[in-house]
């Protein structure tokens, strides 16, 4: 919401307070100032005030009120005029091209001089012909043979609006020679209105806040009306269909108005607020809405009379019937639905309540009698309707935040007043008011203990009373057993509740007015609650640390994806399986229309993106996947995905190893991870369409499968742009966390010397190495401290279909020094067992 | 004989003086200190001397032998030093050549940052409580005092889940904030002892979602960290004190804070907390848009309706809650101008952390 300071100043004096200080007061109280746009007033001279500032100041000497006394033709140019202009000191001849001066051309001395905004030589204003806003300083120049050094200004040139169709015609009261900034210099505050500040969507609302914040007196507007003619009671009936949707409907009548443009000061203020001046009557409704906060609607009374054909007019409000349409004043035929509320007469709809008027009953250039509506509508309903028809407006902005029905009376009176001021006419002596259900006004009881409990400070009740009265709360201190402040909110407020909620609402007002900054900081005195920890998260974070320590980069990807992205995990020759996804009803893009079911698919997407950037990519992610569950919220189990590809060792400047990462690199990472986690894991060949059938393993703990890993299937690899074989793991983090042991036994560290021995065993190609090692360990028992496979050899020397596995063994006893004889005994046992169970031969 | 010894000594020392390397030194040693060295032959000729001469010559011969040995030791040390100097000089590396590269693992910057915040909160007694991301409308909005069609819903553009249900109150949503966790936590703890629920001091981190276009300044997903304190004596002053302390631990002991009135449906009174801009120290710069202050978090006293919905009697309990965007802090601290870098996961970005 944009409001000019000059307007606020009519309701509470603030022109003696620096503009940025006003902005600071409002911002601290929850009315955040987004921008201060200066249109005439001097800009702050320092930069550290904390607000975004734009606009221009009008130099007191160089930009003044002037009067044009005659408009003469230019000797060489038809479209230009030469104005005889008096700036309060002397006469000038000023060249203009303003189309709105043309009608006065060649009339000689004007009977009534035209008051204008005049920029002298050296004045800095906006360039009216430039796109956007760029400053220019007026210099002496010859235009078409005539000397020019000054200018009659448009609104755009002075930074009031975008308007550059003609020059400003000021109101009669402007005195030539007055600095323009003294006459109408202004600054516009752009204020964010929070949902609980609906009452403050007006000049009066903001002025009231400022009065309360500064302790100044608010000046209430006076709207004396001259009434006469026939009363409308009996000639106009109002019937409200549903008071829940329309809690109040008031109407007044003004007869015999003259349609013409509003005074310039009205037009200027409307433009500063971002509204377009239209005519004195329409402007009066908008001006009053901005001033008081009550949106109003003007009907052409004679059209309603024609429709009623001599009988009394009946206004009724109701919801639309199925299939009903309404031609709104923007020329669009609106298809209505049953939640849309309409203002109708007995012959049909007149307007879309609170949102937009209908075309038929709209006022026009010839309208003389105006029936003025001031009503209150259900804010949720208006919000829905305005969204449904995509009709945001200043009226629906207010109605959809909540306009209290008590405002109708003041709004109606004020608007009739402005109509009469700007267009003449006679106001009917009465109004018609249908107000079936005035809202209940709560009463809130507050003790100083309540204040201390909520805010932590002592505010004596009389002080709280003074603060609240600044915002027009009615307060009374009652002394019984406990002194109590009885608070009644002012009639325009819809945000104050009852009971314990009401206390919180009032407490916020006390805190706001007292000043958040004035409430001292305290340390929590309440006992520290029982400490529970979050073991599951701690374990998850430990795994993150381990993986980063193992050289993997963590990534965090989007939870939103598409089934197509996840289908890339399968060879394209396989049929796409039907997968149930958690689907978004309002995705921002097709590629983000479901929640992921595969963490690995997201991770591979990132690997693909970085493929050309790095020779080696080692990535992991830990995060949830989303599995739909009928009739319930989705399951959100966490997964761990790893991707690994590229060179095993980065090339240095002296060594250039060429080996690529393979299955065993990934397995090494997993072994290290599970080793530190003390999980007893086994690996088994696995089949999974994502992976190469010969290079895929399942990670098992007892009978539970924790996940699979391996090299991508060549047909899956083809789905991506990877320059090296891709290793991937997709693990069930919940199962891993579940399997973590609470503790683990330690081995004593022996003081005795070891015996080292290497043995090589020739086994059949299909004998799993894991089995051989398990047998060695089992047979070696306690004396065999370490077993490490250090070579796998295949070749003619050992025969086709065989492999040689070479192990480095460390024998050591915790109880004494082993002899060669001891170790030979153990080794022989191992070899015999392997011969028996796997047919292994010791390679000599 | 004595004259011969003088000559032996003189010649040996003269020869030694010219020696530069170990090989020559060794040859000299064999020649002058070996079995057949001239001084040794003097010893072997001792028998031919007279009784009077023998002690004199013997003493002198020993002197010469010792002098030769001592000169040798000194020379040997010199040669060794010279050789070492030479070898050190020849082994000089270009220490500016890069070291051998390792594969360096890292945590994502968002994780690093989140941990920092949670660790500070942890020191202040806030325990981490995590909860689900797909929520019911009830938990995400209604129980937090945001009824259907409430204007406050416009403050949080929402992703809805396709469930076939269209009635707003019955819909599933991607949580727009971590606040539904407040209700879940309160209900869980209150259930432990319904007549006298335990005090609460928790931090609620996690990913939240907003229906927005992805631009340099807005994202569809980002982390949030909320804090919730519930007890029997919790005041607005405690809120200010606790958050000011958090800010001092997060941004430095001299960090200043400012509280402005604001609105959140689930707190009242509500506030917006600003921290003095740590880029310019409050003087005004591009990061703080010349204001000298950075908007860091929203906070307020827990609304009585929310306490009630959580199973805590608002007549007995009070509390405060606050919420912040860790990624926003991360971006401010590192002057990251494009939020898309975070989930873009470009190695060139990630490897800088
Ligand atoms: Zn700054």
- Give the residue extent of every domain in chain B: 2-90, 109-350
Interchain pair A586, B211: CB under 8 A: yes
Sign, CA dihedral A554-A555-A559-A561, equals negative
Burial of A107 per CB tally in 10 Å (0-12, 13-18, 19+) = exposed
Closest residue, chain B, to A450 (C-alpha): B315
Q: B60: which 2 tokens?
A: 């002198």
Closest residue, chain A, to B285 (C-alpha): A48
DSSP string, B48-64: GS-TTHHHHHHHHHHHH
* d(C-alpha A765, C-alpha A793), whole Å: 10
Please indicate if any CB of chain B lies within 8 Å of the CB of A526. Answer: yes
pLDDT digits (tens, 9 = 90+) for A611-629: 999 999 999 999 999 999 9
- The closest alpha carbon to B243, from B120, B330, B130, B328, belongs to B120
pLDDT at residue A409 tops 80: yes
Residues of B in contact with A636 (CB under 8 A): 132-134
| CA end-to-end distance (rounded Å), chain B | 84
Minimum distance, in Å, between the CA of residue A720 and any CA atom of chain B: 17
pLDDT at residue A411 tops 80: yes
Please indicate if any CB of chain B lies within 8 Å of the CB of A668. Answer: no
Based on its alpha-carbon atoms, the radius of gyration of chain B, rounded to whole angstroms, reads 42
Domain B109-350 has CATH 3.30.930.10: yes
- Domains of chain A as residue ranges with CATH: 2-56+188-214 (3.30.56.10), 59-184 (2.40.50.140), 236-434 (3.50.40.10), 444-517 (3.30.56.10), 535-739 (3.30.930.10), 755-843 (3.30.70.380)
- To test the contact with chain B by mutation, choose from A23, A402, A518, A521 the residue with the greatest count of B C-beta atoms within 10 A, namely A521
Q: Please report the pLDDT score of residue A260 as a whole number.
A: 94
Pairs of CB atoms within 8 A across A/B: 268
pLDDT at residue A7 tops 90: yes
Cis status of the peptide bond prior to B135, with omega within 30 of 0: no
Quick one: average pLDDT of A716-741?
A: 96
Confidence tier at A195 by pLDDT (50, 70, 90): confident
Please indicate if any CB of chain B lies within 8 Å of the CB of A618. Answer: yes
Minimum distance, in Å, between the CA of residue A513 and any CA atom of chain B: 10
**CA-to-CA separations, A591 to A135, A560, A628, B161, B211, in angstroms, rounded:** 46, 8, 19, 16, 14
> CA torsion A459→A463→A466→A468, rounded to 10°?
10
Please indicate if any CB of chain A lies within 8 Å of the CB of B95. Answer: no
Residues of A in contact with B342 (CB under 8 A): 556
Confidence tier at A433 by pLDDT (50, 70, 90): very high
Q: Please report the pLDDT score of residue A657 as a whole number.
A: 85
Interchain pair B220, A592: CB under 8 A: yes
Strands in B318-324's sheet, in edge-to-edge order, are B127-128, B200-209, B221-231, B318-324, B293-302, B267-276, B257-264
- The closest alpha carbon to A681, from A708, A700, A668, belongs to A700
Closest residue, chain A, to B110 (C-alpha): A556
In A551-570, the residues whose Cβ lies within 8 Å of chain B are: 551-560
CA within 13 Å, CB half, A27? 25
Q: For the full predicted model, state whether its pTM sits above 0.80.
A: yes
Percent of chain A with pLDDT over 90: 84
Sign, CA dihedral A181-A182-A184-A187, equals positive
Q: Please report the pLDDT score of residue A50 as a whole number.
A: 78
Beta strand B134-136 with B127-128: parallel, antiparallel or unpaired?
Answer: unpaired
Q: Please report the pLDDT score of residue A55 as a whole number.
A: 94
**Residues making up chain A, counted from first to last:** 844
**CA-to-CA separations, B333 to A347, B121, B247, in angstroms, rounded:** 65, 19, 13
Interchain pair A522, B238: CB under 8 A: yes
Quick one: average pLDDT of A720-740?
A: 96
Minimum distance, in Å, between the CA of residue A195 and any CA atom of chain B: 6
Ligand 1 mean position to A41 CA, how many Å? 27
- The closest alpha carbon to A641, from A733, A550, A563, A545, belongs to A733
Quick one: average pLDDT of A173-198?
A: 95
Q: Please report the pLDDT score of residue A119 as a whole number.
A: 96
- The closest alpha carbon to A34, from B297, B153, B289, B258, belongs to B289
pLDDT digits (tens, 9 = 90+) for A199-216: 999 999 999 999 999 999
Confidence tier at A843 by pLDDT (50, 70, 90): confident
Nearest by CB to A500, from B207, B244, B314: name it: B314
Residues of A in contact with B148 (CB under 8 A): 380
* d(C-alpha B256, C-alpha B320), whole Å: 20
> CA torsion A174→A175→A178→A180, rounded to 10°?
20
Residues near B110 by Cβ (< 8 Å), separated by ≥ 6?
A: A556, B223, B326, B327, B330, B342
Please indicate if any CB of chain B lies within 8 Å of the CB of A648. Answer: no
pLDDT digits (tens, 9 = 90+) for A133-149: 899 999 988 877 788 89
Burial of A455 per CB tally in 10 Å (0-12, 13-18, 19+) = buried
**CA-to-CA separations, A826 to A821, A829, A831, in angstroms, rounded:** 9, 5, 9
DSSP string, A337-352: -TT-EEEEETTEEEEE
Q: A510: which 2 tokens?
A: 């006390």
Angle, helix B22-33 to helix B2-17, in steps of 10 degrees:
170
* d(C-alpha A377, C-alpha A355), whole Å: 10
Based on its alpha-carbon atoms, the radius of gyration of chain A, rounded to whole angstroms, reads 42
Least confident among A499-508, A538-547, A776-785, B272-281 = B272-281
How many Cβ atoms from other residues are within 10 Å of residue A323's Cβ?
Answer: 8
Quick one: average pLDDT of A771-790?
A: 93
Q: Please report the pLDDT score of residue A416 as a whole number.
A: 97
In B291-330, the residues whose Cβ lies within 8 Å of chain A are: 291-293, 301, 303-305, 314-315, 318
Ligand 1 mean position to B279 CA, how many Å? 5
Confidence tier at A484 by pLDDT (50, 70, 90): very high
Please indicate if any CB of chain B lies within 8 Å of the CB of A35. Answer: no
Q: What is the mean pLDDT, run by run of 10 residues, along chain B of 353 residues?
A: 86 89 90 87 83 86 90 92 90 90 93 97 95 96 89 82 85 96 97 95 97 91 97 96 95 91 95 90 80 90 97 96 95 91 96 95
pLDDT digits (tens, 9 = 90+) for A253-310: 999 999 999 999 999 999 999 999 999 999 999 999 999 999 999 999 999 999 999 8
pLDDT at residue A732 tops 90: yes
Partners of B207 in the beta sheet? B223
Q: A420: which 2 tokens?
A: 């009469």
Q: Please report the pLDDT score of residue B103 as a whole number.
A: 87
Q: List the shell of residues around ion ligand 1, using CB closer than 5 Å.
A: B 277, 279-280, 285, 287-288
Minimum distance, in Å, between the CA of residue B106 and any CA atom of chain A: 5
Q: Please report the pLDDT score of residue A34 as a whole number.
A: 85
* d(C-alpha A302, C-alpha A432), whole Å: 17
pLDDT digits (tens, 9 = 90+) for A306-363: 999 989 999 999 999 999 999 999 999 999 999 999 999 999 999 999 999 999 999 9
Please indicate if any CB of chain B lies within 8 Å of the CB of A588. Answer: yes
pLDDT at residue A731 tops 80: yes
Q: Please report the pLDDT score of residue A150 as a whole number.
A: 93
Quick one: average pLDDT of A522-527?
A: 92
Please indicate if any CB of chain A lies within 8 Å of the CB of B164. Answer: no
Q: Residue A362 carries which DSSP code? A: B
Quick one: average pLDDT of A775-780?
A: 94
Q: Helix H segments across A255-405?
A: 264-272, 280-292, 301-308, 379-388, 394-399
Percent of chain A with pLDDT over 70: 100
């Amino acid at each position: 919401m944009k409001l000019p300071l000059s307007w606020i100043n009519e309701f509470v004096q603030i022109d003696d307070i620096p503009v940025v200080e006003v902005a600071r007061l409002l911002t601290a109280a929850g009315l955040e100032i987004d921008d201060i746009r200066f249109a005439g007033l001097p800009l702050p001279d320092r930069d550290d005030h904390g607000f975004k500032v734009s606009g221009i100041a009008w130099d007191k000497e160089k930009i003044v009120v002037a009067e044009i006394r005659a408009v003469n033709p230019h000797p060489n140019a038809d479209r230009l005029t030469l104005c005889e202009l008096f700036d309060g000191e002397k006469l000038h001849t000023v060249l203009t091209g303003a189309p709105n001066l043309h009608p006065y051309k060649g009339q000689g001395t004007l009977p009534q001089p035209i008051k204008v905004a005049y920029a002298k030589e050296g004045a800095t204003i906006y360039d009216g012909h430039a796109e956007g806003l760029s400053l220019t300083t007026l210099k002496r120049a010859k235009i078409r043979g005539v000397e020019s050094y000054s200018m009659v200004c448009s609104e755009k040139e002075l930074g009031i609006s975008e308007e550059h169709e003609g020059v400003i015609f000021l109101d009669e009261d402007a005195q030539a020679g007055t600095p323009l900034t003294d006459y109408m210099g202004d600054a516009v505050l752009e204020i964010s209105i929070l949902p609980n500040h609906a009452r403050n969507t007006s000049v009066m609302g903001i002025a009231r806040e400022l009065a309360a914040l500064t302790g100044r007196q608010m000046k209430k507007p006076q709207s004396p009306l001259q009434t006469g003619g026939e009363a409308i009671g009996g000639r106009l009936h109002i019937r409200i269909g549903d008071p829940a949707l329309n809690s109040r409907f008031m109407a007044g009548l003004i007869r015999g108005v003259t349609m013409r443009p509003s005074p310039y000061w009205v037009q200027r203020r409307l433009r500063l607020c971002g509204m377009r001046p239209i005519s004195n009557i329409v402007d009066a409704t908008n001006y009053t809405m901005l001033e008081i906060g009550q949106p109003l609607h003007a009907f052409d009374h004679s059209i309603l009379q024609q429709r009623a054909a001599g009988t009394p007019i009946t206004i009724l409000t109701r919801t639309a019937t199925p299939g009903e349409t309404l031609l709104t004043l923007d020329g669009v035929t609106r298809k209505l639905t049953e939640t849309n509320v309409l203002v109708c007469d007995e012959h049909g709809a007149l307007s879309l309540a609170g949102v937009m008027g209908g075309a038929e009953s709209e006022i026009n250039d010839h309208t003389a009698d105006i029936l003025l509506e001031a009503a209150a509508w259900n804010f949720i309903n208006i919000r829905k309707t305005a969204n449904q028809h995509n009709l945001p407006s200043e009226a629906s902005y207010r109605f959809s935040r909540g306009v209290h029905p008590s405002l109708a009376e003041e709004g109606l009176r004020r608007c009739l007043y402005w109509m009469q001021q700007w267009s003449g006419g006679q106001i009917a002596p009465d109004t018609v008011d249908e107000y079936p259900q005035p809202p209940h006004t709560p009463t809130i009881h507050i003790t100083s203990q309540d204040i201390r409990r909520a805010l932590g400070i002592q505010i004596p009740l009389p002080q709280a009373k003074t603060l609240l009265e600044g915002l027009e709360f009615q307060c009374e201190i009652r002394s019984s057993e406990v002194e109590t402040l009885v608070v009644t909110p002012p009639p325009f407020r819809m945000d104050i509740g009852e009971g314990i909620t009401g206390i919180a609402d009032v407490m916020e007002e006390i805190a706001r007015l007292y000043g958040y900054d004035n409430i001292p900081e305290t340390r929590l005195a309440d006992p520290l609650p029982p400490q529970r920890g979050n073991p599951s998260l701690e374990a998850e974070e430990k795994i993150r640390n381990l993986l980063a320590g193992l050289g993997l980069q963590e990534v965090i990807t989007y939870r939103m994806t598409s089934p197509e992205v996840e289908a890339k995990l399968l060879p394209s020759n396989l049929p796409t399986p039907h997968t149930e996804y958690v689907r978004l009803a309002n995705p921002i893009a097709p590629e983000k229309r479901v929640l992921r079911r595969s963490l690995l698919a997201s991770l591979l997407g990132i690997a693909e993106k970085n493929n050309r950037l790095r020779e080696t990519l080692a990535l992991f992610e830990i995060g949830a996947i989303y599995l739909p569950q009928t009739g319930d919220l989705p399951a959100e189990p966490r997964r761990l995905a790893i991707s690994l590809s590229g060179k095993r060792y980065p090339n240095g400047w002296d060594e250039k190893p060429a080996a690529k990462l393979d299955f065993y690199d990934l397995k090494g990472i997993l072994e290290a991870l599970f080793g530190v986690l003390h999980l007893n894991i086994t690996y088994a060949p696995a089949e999974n369409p994502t992976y190469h059938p010969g290079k895929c393993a399942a990670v098992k703990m007892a009978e539970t499968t924790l996940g699979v890993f391996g090299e991508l299937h060549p047909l899956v690899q083809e789905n991506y742009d990877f320059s090296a074989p891709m290793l991937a793991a997709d693990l069930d983090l919940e199962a891993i966390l579940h399997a973590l042991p609470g503790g683990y036994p330690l081995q004593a560290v022996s003081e005795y010397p070891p015996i080292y021995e290497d043995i090589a065993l020739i086994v059949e190609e299909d004998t799993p190495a894991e089995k051989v090692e398990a047998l060695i360990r089992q047979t070696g028992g306690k004396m065999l401290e370490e077993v490490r496979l250090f070579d796998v050899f295949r070749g003619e020397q050992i025969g086709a279909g065989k492999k040689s596995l070479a192990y480095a063994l460390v024998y050591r006893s915790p109880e004494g020094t082993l002899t060669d004889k001891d170790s030979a005994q153990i080794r022989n046992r191992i070899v015999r067992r392997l011969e028996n169970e796997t047919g292994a031969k010791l390679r000599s | 004989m004595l004259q011969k010894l003088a000559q032996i000594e003189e010649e040996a020392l003269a020869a030694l003086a010219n020696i530069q390397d170990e090989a020559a030194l060794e040859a000299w040693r064999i020649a002058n200190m070996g079995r057949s060295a001239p001084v040794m032959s003097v010893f072997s000729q001792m028998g031919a001397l007279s009784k009077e001469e023998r002690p004199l010559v013997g003493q002198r011969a020993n002197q010469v032998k010792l002098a030769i040995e001592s000169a040798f030791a000194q020379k040997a040390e010199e040669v060794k030093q010279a050789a070492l100097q030479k070898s050190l000089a020849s082994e000089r590396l270009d220490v500016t050549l890069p070291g051998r590269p390792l594969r360096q693992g890292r945590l994502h910057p968002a994780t690093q940052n989140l941990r920092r915040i949670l660790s500070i909160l942890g020191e202040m007694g806030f325990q981490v409580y995590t909860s689900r991301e797909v929520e019911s409308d009830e938990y995400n909005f209604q129980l937090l005092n945001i009824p259907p069609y409430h204007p406050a819903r416009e403050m949080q553009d929402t992703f809805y889940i396709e469930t076939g249900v269209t009635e707003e109150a019955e819909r599933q949503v991607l949580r727009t904030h971590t606040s539904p966790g407040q209700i879940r936590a309160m209900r869980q703890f209150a259930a432990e002892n319904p007549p006298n629920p335990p005090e609460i001091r928790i931090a609620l981190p996690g990913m939240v979602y907003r229906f927005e276009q992805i631009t340099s300044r807005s994202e569809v997903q980002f982390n949030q960290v909320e804090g919730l304190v519930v007890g029997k004596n919790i005041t607005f002053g405690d809120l200010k004190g606790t958050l000011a302390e958090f800010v001092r631990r997060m941004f430095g002991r001299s960090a200043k804070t400012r509280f402005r009135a604001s609105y959140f449906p689930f707190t009242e009174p509500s506030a917006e907390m600003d921290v003095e801009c740590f880029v310019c120290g409050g003087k005004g710069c591009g990061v703080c848009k010349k204001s000298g202050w950075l908007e860091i978090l929203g906070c307020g006293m827990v609304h009585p309706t929310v306490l009630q919905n959580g199973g805590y009697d608002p007549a007995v309990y009070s509390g405060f809650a606050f919420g912040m965007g860790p990624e926003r802090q991360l971006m401010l601290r590192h002057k990251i101008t494009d939020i898309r870098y975070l989930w873009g996961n470009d190695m060139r970005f990630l490897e800088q952390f």
